Chain A
Amino acid sequence: MLQLTDVETYYGESHVLHGVSLRLEPGEAVGLLGRNGAGKSTVIRTIVGFTPPRSGSIRFFDHELAGLPSYKIARLGIGLVPQGRRIFPDLTVRENLTLAARDQAGGWTLGRVMDHFPRLRERQSQLAGTLSGGELQMVAIGRALMTNPRLLLMDEPSEGLAPMIVREIGAIIAELKAEKLSFVLVEQNLSLALDSVDRAYVMNKGAIVFEGTPGELLADEAVHRQYLGV
């Protein structure tokens, strides 16, 4: 359903992605791993149109995404849980969730999101700026689900969270996977990522350097040491 082919992305003059190709099948969960600065977030920003590619192609079902404005890309069914969460602080929790709601029969509704995140129901009238990091991450995931995406892109959902909260986020991701939602998960937290995905890509210096199942990745000492270890 998603196919990146030879994507080259620049920030101004600096060349960040060097011929990235990756694919994702319907219902699949794919991890995107690598050290800080490897280009993982840039892949996400490129797909959603925040930083469009200079060349290469991004196919999503029958559509070419390269060059489309990001609101059109989102409307095609790509939900984003961005790095740093980027929740709107002056909106209430409920407003954050309903802002981008796109109803769809049998899809995500405010009620269903709040069933998944009971804490958000308690805090729905509170300004989002007053929430804790874990709660903000729940809003970020809930907000993306409310657009009823066919594909969810999650950029470091565990970033900056306490281990207990990370486990909670991991449980939520597992539920999404059980519901057969397709997603790309960018993570620094290797165990969270490998527990959650069917297949993983490892990036280094703006290029894909490994592709395989979590089992294959765990078995490959060299990749592990060279591109993931600290």
Chain B
Amino acid sequence: MNAQILSPLIIQILNGLAFSMLLFLLAAGLSVIFGMMDFINLAHGAFYMLGAYLGLTATQRLGNFWVALIVVPIIVAALGFALEKILLRPLYKRGHLDQVLLTFGLAFVVTDMIRWIWGADIRSVPQPPELTGAIPLGITAYPRYRGFVIVAGLVLAAALWAIQARTRIGAVIRAGVADKEMVGGLGINISLVFACVFAFGVGLAALSGVIAGPFLSLAPGMDAEQLILSLIVVVVGGMGTLKGAFWGSIVVGLADTFGKIYVPDFSLMVIFAIMAAILLVRPNGLFGRAVT
């Protein structure tokens, strides 16, 4: 193959991976929250969007993207911690329908507040000066910022994996996904653990939003699109596993990117077709455990 065919292909694969990393940060929290508490958080996309807009303002006010990258997820995580305690905790024992209704409503409240504060115009976050330009890749070149997104996503995935697999809190979370009542019966305050996991997951969604800012554009509706894709990631990868969230994100991110190029009118359908095919072969997703 010559460079004329190869280089657009490489660029699209990299674009797909960069998008996959944004999805992964969203789906990781969604999946563990679902796996552990059997809780469907449809407000997850709204926290992603909130992260993106707060990132915009923080970058403009502070003049520094990197500070925004640290501060915004912490603020949103704190908000998530409070919301979990006040609004969501009473719903764990109720059915999925109640959870869906409340979190969907919460998503509307958050996104309408964003529209009220920031307006409905399409906005974009300036790239940090360190990451403008392109990385030479031999036969082609790739935007430096998107390269950063891929590397940051991989580093975060590795860090999350290490936390889940190697630390005590990771063991508590894995145990909680399997049998949360029993974890409580051993003297661990599982409600507090879950509040922390929820806050952390929401913080990751906000981090995904901040990172997305200089890469995608900010507009009303960005939350719903990303929420749907990350829900598909959770289904494809299997609930409650980081590994599933990671590989599910790669599959969905690449499928979305290539679908939009080759069959732009049917790109979402391509993703659903892949999801259906995976579920036919593996009903619990790629790495999911049988749901009881």
Q: Decide if A74 touches B184 in the complex (CB within 8 Å).
A: yes
Give Cα A217–Cα B226 distance, bound, in whole angstroms: 66
Complex: chain A residue closest to B181, CB-CB: A50
B179 contact from A80, A86, A98, Cβ within 8 A? A86
B189 within 8 A of A: yes
Q: Decide if B182 touches A82 in the complex (CB within 8 Å).
A: yes
Interface size grouping (class) on chain A:
20 to 34
B190 within 8 A of A: yes
Q: Decide if B178 touches A71 in the complex (CB within 8 Å).
A: no
| CB neighbours of A74 from chain B (8 A) | 184-187
Q: Decide if A100 touches B178 in the complex (CB within 8 Å).
A: no
Give Cα A144–Cα B179 distance, bound, in whole angstroms: 15
CB contacts under 8 Å to B, within A110-147, are 143-144, 147
B175 contact from A82, A99, A147, Cβ within 8 A? A99
| CB neighbours of A90 from chain B (8 A) | 174-175, 177-178, 289
CB contacts under 8 Å to B, within A44-60, are 48-50
Given contacts A71-B190, A95-B171, A99-B172, contact A80 B185 (CB under 8 A): yes
Q: Kindly provide the distance from the CB of B285 to the nearest chain A CB, expressed in whole angstroms.
A: 15
Q: Decide if B178 touches A99 in the complex (CB within 8 Å).
A: no
B87 within 8 A of A: no
The digit string for B44-74, where 1 denotes a CB below 8 A from any CB of A, is 0000000000000000000000000000000
B188 within 8 A of A: yes
B186 contact from A49, A50, A100, Cβ within 8 A? A100
Q: Kindly provide the distance from the CB of B290 to the nearest chain A CB, expressed in whole angstroms.
A: 11
Which of A69, A90, A95 has its CB near the most chain B CB atoms (within 10 A)? A90
Complex: chain A residue closest to B175, CB-CB: A88
A71 contact from B174, B175, B187, Cβ within 8 A? B187
A48 contact from B174, B177, B178, B185, Cβ within 8 A? B185
Q: Decide if B178 touches A88 in the complex (CB within 8 Å).
A: yes
The digit string for A93-117, where 1 denotes a CB below 8 A from any CB of B, is 0011011101000000000000000
Q: Decide if A99 touches B188 in the complex (CB within 8 Å).
A: yes
A37 within 8 A of B: no
Give Cα A89–Cα B175 distance, bound, in whole angstroms: 8
Given contacts A50-B181, A70-B181, contact A143 B186 (CB under 8 A): yes
Which of B171, B172, B174, B187 has its CB near the most chain A CB atoms (within 10 A)? B187
Which 10 A-B residue pairs are closest in the complex by CB-CB distance? Answer: A100-B186, A74-B187, A88-B175, A70-B184, A86-B182, A75-B187, A95-B171, A71-B184, A90-B174, A88-B178
Q: List 21 A-B contacts (CB under 8 A).
A: A50-B181, A70-B184, A71-B184, A71-B186, A71-B187, A71-B188, A71-B189, A71-B190, A80-B185, A82-B182, A88-B174, A89-B178, A90-B177, A90-B178, A91-B174, A91-B175, A99-B168, A99-B172, A100-B186, A100-B187, A147-B186
**4 new A-B contacts at CB < 8 Å, known A71-B186, A90-B174:** A50-B181, A74-B187, A96-B175, A98-B171
A residues sitting closer than 8 Å to B (CB atoms) are 48-50, 69-71, 74-75, 80, 82, 86, 88-91, 95-96, 98-100, 102, 143-144, 147
